Amino acid sequence: MLNLQTLFKKIKIDIKKSTTIEELNKIRVQYLGKKGILTAYIKNLKTFSFLEKRQYSILINKKKQEIIDDIQKHSKYLTMLMLEKRIKQEKIDISLPGRRYDNGSFHPITKTIYDIETFFFKLGFESIYGPEIEDEYHNFDALNIPKNHPARNSHDTFWFDTNRLLRTQTSNMQIRIMKEEKPPMRFIFPGKVYRNDYDMTHTPMFHQIEGLIVDRKITFSNLKWMIYNFLYDFFGDKVSIRFRPSYFPFTVPSAEVDIFIKDDFIKPLEILGCGMVHPNVLKNVNINSSIYSACAFGIGVERMAMLRYKITDIRSFFENDIRFLNQFKYN
């Protein structure tokens, strides 16, 4: 009995002296584990008389529960000390300026292409990207552009050799898609095009979106309805629209579309070209023009973005000036 009382006192002292959770766990295992000291005492009771077994087992179990309670209380105390220490070490100086991480945003050209695509998706169009390195047939011949056309000259077009060039328009995709697909069809063709020109309103590389519908009984009225609704959707109802007769080798009749926005600019500005696909173009892709008709339009993405955001120099889009690009974060 004397040895047990001494042991109980020692255990309590060891618990109070422990300064970490790890030390406390070692004490618990040392005295209460499967091979612990108190466990050994209980196993030795089998050699005692019945009355002694009863007396010592009650005492040991009572003290054992007290030890468990002491360990739990001391564990909470040590945990609280560790937390307080950590808070003091990791305290935050609320007077310091915050660290702000700016999110990226769409480039205005990318945003403009997305908005144009979104409108035409609602009308059932599919979007397809095509090759930027093109051959003479798809870029000129199949589009009814004659051999003596100025666009074929080296000072207007980037040629690799006598046959291959950087495409001058996304109209090349009209030919490629009409050769592969069967009517009816509705497609838009966004992408980069290249022309040998550079000033405030022209760059050697810019973006176009070509649109094409091939179906029975397609008329110029269908084309006008679509263009009107697209421009109203893009610029709002404050825009005035004018169709002006024009000439393109691959469409007949052809028109250029001018817009006028009150208070923004006085003179109408040309915004896109459009027309009914020329029968010769349909013939080049084996589509019977007596059964099917087609309309097409070409949109200059940079011109649309310049008008929407009131930008006067097209070169600003490609100079990567962060001050310029930051203006479009929340547009």
C-alpha–C-alpha distance, residues 197 and 91, integer Å? 60
Q: Tell me, what CATH number does 323's domain have?
A: 3.30.930.10
Domain assignment present for 231: yes
Is the domain of 61 the same as that of 172? no
Instruction: Name the residue range of residue 78's domain.
Output: 2-89
Is the domain of 187 the same as that of 253? yes
Is the domain of 118 the same as that of 69? no
DSSP secondary structure string for all residues of 20-81 = SHHHHHHHHHHHHSTTSHHHHHHHHGGGS-HHHHHHHHHHHHHHHHHHHHHHHHHHHHHHHH
Is the domain of 120 the same as that of 196? yes
Domain assignment present for 142: yes
Query: Residue 275's pLDDT is what?
Result: 95
- Strand-pairing partners, residue 134, are 165
- pLDDT class for 118, splitting at 50, 70, 90? very high
Choose one of 89, 121, 153: the last residue of a domain. Answer: 89
C-alpha–C-alpha distance, residues 68 and 25, integer Å? 11
Domain assignment present for 102: no
Domain assignment present for 103: no
Q: Are 277 and 251 in contact (CB under 8 A)?
A: yes
Res 202 pLDDT > 60: yes
Is the domain of 229 the same as that of 323? yes
- Token pair of 330, please? 């929340």
Q: How many domains does the chain have?
A: 2
pTM listed for this prediction: 0.66
* Spatial CB neighbours of 276, under 8 Å, sequence gap ≥ 6: 218, 219, 220, 223, 251, 252, 253, 254, 293, 294, 295, 296
Is the domain of 61 the same as that of 114? no
> 123-150 pLDDT, tens per residue?
999 999 999 999 999 999 899 888 887 7
Choose one of 89, 124, 149: the last residue of a domain. Answer: 89
Query: Residue 265's pLDDT is what?
Result: 55
Query: Residue 231's pLDDT is what?
Result: 93
Domain assignment present for 316: yes
- pLDDT class for 314, splitting at 50, 70, 90? confident
Res 167 pLDDT > 90: yes
DSSP secondary structure string for all residues of 274-318 = EEEEPHHHHHHTT--TTT-EEEEEEEEHHHHHHHHHT-S-GGGGG
Cα distance between the two ends of the chain: 85
Query: Residue 111's pLDDT is what?
Result: 92
Is the domain of 131 the same as that of 214? yes
- pLDDT class for 55, splitting at 50, 70, 90? confident
Is the domain of 11 the same as that of 153? no
Is the domain of 126 the same as that of 175? yes
C-alpha–C-alpha distance, residues 241 and 231, integer Å? 8
Report for 36-45, 84-93, 296-305, 316-325: range of highest mean pLDDT: 296-305
Is the domain of 186 the same as that of 278? yes
Query: Residue 203's pLDDT is what?
Result: 85
Query: Residue 263's pLDDT is what?
Result: 66
Domain assignment present for 228: yes
> 232-289 pLDDT, tens per residue?
999 888 788 999 999 998 999 999 998 887 766 557 778 899 999 999 999 999 999 9
Domain assignment present for 294: yes
Is the domain of 16 the same as that of 64? yes
Q: What is the mean pLDDT of residues 191-206?
A: 84
Choose one of 56, 89, 122: the last residue of a domain. Answer: 89
Which range, of 53-62, 104-113, 141-150, 171-180, averages the lowest pLDDT?
53-62
Is the domain of 221 the same as that of 274? yes
Domain assignment present for 175: yes
**Which single residue is written with the structure tokens 């584990």?**
33
